[in-house]
Amino acid sequence: MAENPFLELDRKMVGDIHTSSEAMENMEILCDDFGSRFGGTAGERQAATFFRDKYKEYGLSKARMEPYKYASWARGETTLEIVSPVQHEIPCIALPYCPSARLEAELIDVKDGMPGDFEVRKLRGKIVMATSFPGRGLGRSVHRSEKYARSALGGGIGFIFMNHYEGLGPATGSIANNREALIPGISISKEWGEYLLRLVRRKGKVRLKLRTRNRTRTRTSWNVVGELPGNRNSDRWAVIGCHYDGHDISQGAHDPVSGMAAILEAARVLSAYAADRIGCGIRFIAFGTEEIGLIGAKEYVKAHLEEMGQIRLMLNMDAAGGAGRKGIVMHHWPVLDDFFEGAREQMAYDLPYGQRLSAFSDHFPFFEAGVPTASMGDVEATFSGRGFGHTAFDTLDKIKLSNLREAASVACRVLLRVACAEKWPARLRSKRVVERITKKEPNLEIVKVEAELEKLYRRKR
Ligand SMILES: [Zn+2]
């Protein structure tokens, strides 16, 4: 067995986490008292204040709310009706950043919305429907944003996102980043989607009428930051972060705040037992408004650009306190493999680690700035969709204290080791290297597709 130089600290921190119910108590406040914490809600500000106060209570220094301006979105009324060959109303919700609109058009189905599904269909002037299934056999997942972008790029005038899970209602998710979207997008349940598909199959053309009223306007949100200063390499930082905004239709218990609850626990025990041992500093960040375009993380990187070279590792804890193995998914940083192999052996813990990149969470603006980044998760798990995530059923009853404890334990032990490493093998990447990786990485197809959408957006607006 590998020797563990942090055995005493590990025992204290993990023992404390596993004999405390603080993580679940924090979850109850975040979910039941503050609600979705979606950008623009009262609960959003309450949550931000709560994190700042918890950081202080746990002994972090410089606990602060860093404000920034963004485009908030609030839903109004949305109706979808079949006009022909039958008349029928279909329950639906607007997707965040859906503009207000009134339109009538023929429905076209693009199945799961894989790239090939778009190429063979004529979308111009139609309402395009794709399921939420992320695909298989492509070697990557196809995100809602890509399906929406391809619909708009193909000339579609409306987008319907059909849940691929039964019994979970419609699945939400934004269709633009920090601004009103180009064409309206709505979401329906699997059951109503299947009904529409049967109608197309049995009767041919189906015409739909969509009415939606929503509001986009400038507001203020906050990244909430707290610190444990380092004792030796005090100009270097380990950063751990998670967003705290959920979607307005749910409590966002799993995605995101199970991750934030784990971070708070890690902060609590690191502060209590390891504050005088850590070499470099540890910075804890609760990011605002991730669900509508990673806005908080982008704003943080912009505001702290000159500090990016000081970050040893940014660990993203988005939704990390749910089920599943709590490992380290690095974003193209094989130079850190040896470090995590060493940590795995020391910790006597099954810590899966490896490389896989995604563009869809708060690590991505840091990745783009060249910072070494990773997410907590299972690199070996295959992704087949969000399940209850992004639906009204992402609620606290599904969260287990044992999972929160495990996520918090892994996070504090990994952070301790990052902060105490004598030498750190990863350093800031140049823009050129980031661009080279971005170009080659199949999981970053969205970057290219959204660049195309940007051109269309500029032509139309
Ligand atoms: Zn999330």
CA distances from 428 to 138, 232, 306, 313, 364 (A): 31, 20, 11, 10, 14
Residue 137 banded pLDDT, cuts 50, 70, 90: confident
What is the three-class DSSP state of 73?
strand
Residue 194 CA to ligand 1 center (angstroms) comes to: 28
| Residue whose tokens read 């990557």 | 140
Residue 1 banded pLDDT, cuts 50, 70, 90: low
Q: What's the confidence (pLDDT) of residue 2?
A: 82
Residue 395 CA to ligand 1 center (angstroms) comes to: 14
- N residues, the chain: 461
| Residue 120 exposed, middle or buried by CB count within 10 Å (0-12, 13-18, 19+) | exposed
Residue 318 CA to ligand 1 center (angstroms) comes to: 5
Residue 8 CA to ligand 1 center (angstroms) comes to: 33
> Tens digits of per-residue pLDDT, 285-321?
999 999 999 999 999 999 999 999 999 999 999 999 9
Write down the pTM of the prediction. Answer: 0.97
Residue 204 CA to ligand 1 center (angstroms) comes to: 39
Residues forming a β-bridge with 107 = 127
Residue 439 CA to ligand 1 center (angstroms) comes to: 25
Residue 311 CA to ligand 1 center (angstroms) comes to: 22
Residue 4 CA to ligand 1 center (angstroms) comes to: 33
CA angle, 416 then 396 then 19, to 5°: 45
Q: Residue 302 and residue 385: Cα distance in Å, rounded?
A: 31
Is the per-residue pLDDT at 380 higher than 80?
yes
Residue 137 CA to ligand 1 center (angstroms) comes to: 25
Residue 291 CA to ligand 1 center (angstroms) comes to: 7
Residue 7 CA to ligand 1 center (angstroms) comes to: 32
- pLDDT above 90 covers a percentage of the chain that reads 96
Residue 101 CA to ligand 1 center (angstroms) comes to: 28
Tokens of 416: 């301790």
Residue 259 CA to ligand 1 center (angstroms) comes to: 9
Residue 393 CA to ligand 1 center (angstroms) comes to: 15
Phi, psi (rounded to 5 degrees) for 283: -115, 130
Residue 360 CA to ligand 1 center (angstroms) comes to: 8
Is the per-residue pLDDT at 54 higher than 70?
yes
Residue 56 CA to ligand 1 center (angstroms) comes to: 25
Residue 225 banded pLDDT, cuts 50, 70, 90: very high
What is the three-class DSSP state of 37?
coil
Q: HSE of 183 in the Cβ direction (CA atoms, 13 Å)?
A: 24
Among 298, 219, 266, 227, CA closest to 44: 219
Mean pLDDT of 177-201: 98
- pLDDT above 70 covers a percentage of the chain that reads 100
Residue 306 CA to ligand 1 center (angstroms) comes to: 26
Q: Residue 456 and residue 324: Cα distance in Å, rounded?
A: 40
Residue 361 CA to ligand 1 center (angstroms) comes to: 6
Residue 11 CA to ligand 1 center (angstroms) comes to: 30
> Tens digits of per-residue pLDDT, 238-283?
999 999 999 999 999 999 999 999 999 999 999 999 999 999 999 9
Q: What's the confidence (pLDDT) of residue 460?
A: 86
What is the three-class DSSP state of 356?
coil
Tokens of 418: 């990052």
Tokens of 314: 């940014």
Residue 430 CA to ligand 1 center (angstroms) comes to: 27
Residue 121 CA to ligand 1 center (angstroms) comes to: 32
Residue 317 CA to ligand 1 center (angstroms) comes to: 9
Residue 121 banded pLDDT, cuts 50, 70, 90: confident
Q: What is the CATH number of domain 75-216?
A: 3.50.30.30
User: Pairing between strand 353-355 and 327-330?
Assistant: parallel
Residue 139 CA to ligand 1 center (angstroms) comes to: 22
Residue 386 CA to ligand 1 center (angstroms) comes to: 11
Residue 120 CA to ligand 1 center (angstroms) comes to: 33
Residue 242 CA to ligand 1 center (angstroms) comes to: 8
Residue 387 CA to ligand 1 center (angstroms) comes to: 13
Residue 156 CA to ligand 1 center (angstroms) comes to: 28
Residue 420 CA to ligand 1 center (angstroms) comes to: 29
Cα of 175 vs its chain's centroid, Å = 14
Could you tell me the residue ranges of all domains in the chain?
A: 7-71+218-440, 75-216
Residue 263 CA to ligand 1 center (angstroms) comes to: 14
Query: How would CATH label the architecture of 7-71+218-440?
Result: 3-Layer(aba) Sandwich (3.40)
Residue 329 CA to ligand 1 center (angstroms) comes to: 15
Mean pLDDT of 110-117: 95
Say how many C-beta atoms besides its own lie within 10 A of residue 150's C-beta.
25
Residue 339 CA to ligand 1 center (angstroms) comes to: 27
Residue 250 CA to ligand 1 center (angstroms) comes to: 13
